[in-house]
Structure 1
Amino acid sequence: MARTKKKLIVVVPMPGIFLLDVAGPCDVFAAADKILDGNGGYEILLASPLNTKKIPTKSSIALHCAVTVTAITQPIDTLIIAGFSMPLLERGERFFKWLKDTYPKVNRIGSVCLGAYALAEAGILDGKQATTHWEYSQQFQQRYSGVKVDTDPFFTRDTNIYTSGGVSSGIDLALALVEEDHGRETALHIARKLILPLKRPGYQAQFSRLPEIYRQESSMGGKLYTWMIRHLEEDLSIEHLAQHSNMSVRNFARVFLKETGVTPAKFVEKVRVEAARRYLEDSDLSIDQIAEKCGLGGLISMRRTFMRHVNMSPSDYRRSFRTSLHAVEN
Structure 2
Amino acid sequence: MAKKLVVIVPMPGTYMLDIAGPCDVFSAADSILHEGLGEEGAGYELLLAAYGDEKTVQTKSGISMTCPVTLAEITQPIDTLIVAGFPMALLHAGDRRLINWLKINYPRLHRVASICVGTYALAEAGILEGKNATTHWEHSRAFQEKYPTIRVDTNPFYTKDGNVYTSGGVSSGVDLSLALVEEDYGREVAIQVARKLVLYLKRPGFQSQFANLLQLHSVANSLAGKLRPWMLDHLDKELGVEELANHLNMSLRNFTRVFTRETGMTPAKFVEKLRVEIARKYLEDSDYSMEQIAARCGLGGVVSMRRVFLRHMNVTPSDYRRTFRTSFAD
State whether TM-score is above 0.5: yes
What's the CA shift for 1:214? Answer: 5.8
Verify: 1:313 aligned to 2:316, yes or no.
Answer: yes
What's the counterpart of residue 116 of structure 1? 119
2:12 is the alignment partner of 1:15? yes
Note the residue ranges of structure 1 that are not aligned, 5 or more in a row: none
Matched, 1:98 2:95: no
Q: Tell which deviates more after alignment, 258-267 or 165-174.
A: 258-267
Q: Which of 179, 185, 197 is 2:188 aligned to?
A: 185
Q: Tell me the amino acid that sits aligned with residue 73 of structure 1.
A: T
- Contact 1:14–1:49 (CA<8 Å) still a contact in 2? yes
Alignment-derived partner of residue 218 in structure 1: 221
Q: Deviations over 1:143-169 (max 9, x none)?
A: 111211100000001111100001000
- Aligned equivalent of 1:54, options 44, 53, 56: 56
Q: Residues 98-145 of structure 1: CA distance to partner in whole angstroms, max 9, x if unpaired? A: 111111110111001111111111111111110011111111112111
Counterpart of 1:253 in structure 2 is 256
Aligned to 2:80: 78
Task: Please give the secondary structure, in 2, of the residue aligned with 1:162.
Answer: strand
Give the Cα separation in 2 of the matches to 1:149 and 1:321: 26
User: Where does 1:1-330 land on structure 2 (aligned, <5 Å)?
Assistant: 4-37=1-34, 38-90=40-92, 91-213=94-216, 216-326=219-329
For residues 244-299 of structure 1, what are the alpha-carbon distances to aligned partners after superposition, in whole Å with 9 as ceiling and x for unaligned?
23333233222222221112221111100000001111112111111111100111
The Cα shift of 1:212 comes to: 2.6
Query: What TM-score, normalized by structure 2, do the two folds share?
Result: 0.94
CA distance in structure 2 between the partners assigned to 1:224 and 1:103 by the alignment: 49
Secondary structure of the corresponding residue to residue 156 of structure 2: coil
- The CA deviation at 1:5 is 0.4
3-state SS in 2 of match to 1:315: helix
Deviations 1:54-90 (A, max 9, x none): 0001122111111111221111111100011121122
CA positional deviation for 1:220: 2.5
Give 3-state SS (helix, strand or coil) of 1:35's partner: helix
The alignment partner of 2:233 has SS state of coil
Runs of 4+ in 1 over 3 A off after TM superposition: 213-216
Structure 1 contact 11–82 (Cα < 8 Å) conserved: yes
Long gaps (5+) in structure 2: 35-39
Work out the CA distance in 2 between the residues paired with 1:92 and 1:230. Answer: 49
CA contact (8 A) 1:215 1:226 kept: no
Q: TM-score, normalised by structure 1?
A: 0.94
Shift of 1:225: 2.3
Is the 2:219–2:262 contact (alpha carbons within 8 Å) kept by the matching residues of 1?
no
CA contact (8 A) 1:12 1:46 kept: yes
Following TM superposition, by how much is the alpha carbon of 1:314 offset from its aligned partner in structure 2, in angstroms? 1.2
How many residue pairs get aligned? The number is 324
Q: Aligned letter for 1:254?
A: R
Q: d(CA) in 2 for partners of 1:267 and 1:110?
A: 34
Shift of 1:313: 1.4
Indicate conservation of the 8 Å contact 1:215/1:225, yes or no: no
1:214/1:225 contact within 8 Å kept: no
Aligned equivalents of 2:256, 2:217: Cα separation in 1: 16
Given residue 5 of structure 1, which amino acid in structure 2 is its aligned partner? A
Q: Which residue of 1 aligns with 2:37?
A: none
Identity of aligned residues (%): 61
Moved more, 265-274 or 138-147: 138-147
When the two chains are superposed, the root-mean-square deviation of aligned CA atoms in Å is 1.4
